[in-house]
Amino acid sequence: MPLRLALHDRRRPLTEAELAGVPWLSHLKPDEYDRAAPELRVTRAEPGELIFRMGRPVTYWFGVVDGLLKMSTETADGQTITYSGLTPGGWFGEGTVLKREPYRYNVSALRRSLVAGLPADTFHWLLDHSIGFNRFIMSQLNERLGQFIGALEADRTPNPEQRVARSIAALVNPVLFPGVGEVLRITQQELAYLVGLSRQRVNEALHALAAQGLLRIEYGGLRILDLAALRSRQF
């Protein structure tokens, strides 16, 4: 039986390099680290695959080790609303884990990704025992609030250039996604899915932003040159 399970269960412990990319581990004291780190598991998600679905009970707190995920819901008439993209170093769903409520949105992979999970019980243990962990969660919640306000603002403008700029700024937020680095790995097609524009329109907007020196277009990614300007872009 255990052998059969192992064949279907793709979860495995994290490598040293992957553990180093988990931002909140560095906030823990040694005994807290020793308790939490062994509980972490990582799994591969193929494009379109759901990490979790709306209404399902919470089992894990999830984080992106590598790849690109999107957070979305569907309206009654089947239209998809994308709230946010999730890039490496980003951990999400803590609000839901905190309240032990069912998920209120879907998270799926936009491309082949590595997703880590911390069991909900371990999450609560850290919350009860670790001050460093609480600080991390607090800053996480605060930063995400700012991100959603930014998303609301961006949604109120029909200007594609501004919407694309805001989306990119959100994806490279160093607090929420510390693993991204100076080059955001994302194709123009993936960005188009996230922003809700056509690839052509995104391509056009990117060239406009590049011409203003805010970023540089590279094959399969974007080099961020001026994050502050991207974030505050007004028209």
Q: What are the residues binding DNA (CB under 7 A)? A: 111, 187-189, 199-200, 203, 206-207, 217-221
Which residue, 203 or 212, is less far from DNA as judged by CB?
203
CB of 207 to DNA, least distance (A): 7
CB of 197 to DNA, least distance (A): 12
* 156: exposed, middle or buried (Cβ count in 10 Å: 0-12, 13-18, 19+): exposed
Which residue, 59 or 189, is less far from DNA as judged by CB?
189
Nearest CA to 45 out of 78, 16, 61, 68 is that of 68
Which residue, 138 or 217, is less far from DNA as judged by CB?
217
* 206: exposed, middle or buried (Cβ count in 10 Å: 0-12, 13-18, 19+): buried
CB of 220 to DNA, least distance (A): 5
Which residue, 36 or 202, is less far from DNA as judged by CB?
202
Which residue, 174 or 220, is less far from DNA as judged by CB?
220
Q: How far apart are CA 193 and CA 96, in angstroms?
A: 25
CB of 164 to DNA, least distance (A): 12
CB of 191 to DNA, least distance (A): 8
Three-class SS of residue 229?
A: helix
Which residue, 47 or 102, is less far from DNA as judged by CB?
47
Q: How far apart are CA 185 and CA 168, in angstroms?
A: 11
Helix (H) or strand (E) holding 199: helix 199-211
Q: How far apart are CA 153 and CA 27, in angstroms?
A: 32
Cα three-residue angle 213-217-218, rounded to 5 degrees = 140
CB of 111 to DNA, least distance (A): 7
CB of 210 to DNA, least distance (A): 8
Largest separation between any pair of C-alpha atoms in the chain: 61
- How many C-alpha atoms does 220 have within 13 Å on its Cβ side? 4
Which residue, 58 or 172, is less far from DNA as judged by CB?
172
